[in-house]
A and B are shown apart, each in its own frame.
Chain A
């Protein structure tokens, strides 16, 4: 398996623009997680899905953030409108079932100028 695949790897956008990050989880994994990593706050869980259904979005910082999982092999994280404080590395991870380890993608480095 190719592992968790994220795109793009890098994104630079202007403040106010819409940003969409994409993730393809490992086939057969039932759980998908979106994390954000910054120097100040470390790895923060934003939202996670079980069988394509959002279970907990309490980590989503504001209404500007939204996530979808239309099928088992694809998820998006959207920021609209983007702000400079959204600059971070965003990771997607997936796990086979509850209480098992999660496997991470390579991340998307987002810079909002």
Chain B
């Protein structure tokens, strides 16, 4: 069964302290990998799409990278407003258009 695993479950950082979130997936024909941000009481907000190993995308303090078995969301010098749950989602060739989500990483940035 295709699976998506995110780690850590929760992460608390000091403002300005850089770190990375991990998303690992079953290696069985990746078609696309997506990163979302979700704030409390809101729907997931799209951040990045990655399609092939070696690909990187950046937006402000966030950079997403992809290897053959995992993706990282790097956050550089985070600010309190970056606090949110970050979700990874995967689409496999074997699953038609079913986008499957990981359980997320709750990120908290202290001022």
Contacts and interface: CB of A to CB of B under 8 A. Distances in A.
Interface of A: 4, 31, 33, 35, 42-43, 45, 48, 50, 55-56, 91, 93, 95, 98-107
B101 A107 contact: no
Contact of A98 (B36, B42, B97, B102): B97
A42 B96 CA distance: 21
A36 to B, nearest CB: 11
Contacts of A43: 44, 87, 101
A99 B43 contact: no
A48 B97 contact: yes
A100 B49 contact: yes
Chain A binding surface SS class: strand
B100 A45 contact: yes
B72 to A, nearest CB: 18
B69 interface: no
A104 B44 contact: yes
29 contacts: A31-B97, A33-B99, A42-B101, A42-B102, A42-B104, A43-B101, A45-B99, A45-B101, A48-B98, A55-B97, A56-B97, A91-B44, A93-B43, A93-B44, A98-B97, A99-B31, A99-B32, A99-B51, A99-B91, A100-B49, A101-B32, A101-B49, A102-B34, A102-B99, A104-B43, A104-B44, A104-B45, A107-B42, A107-B43
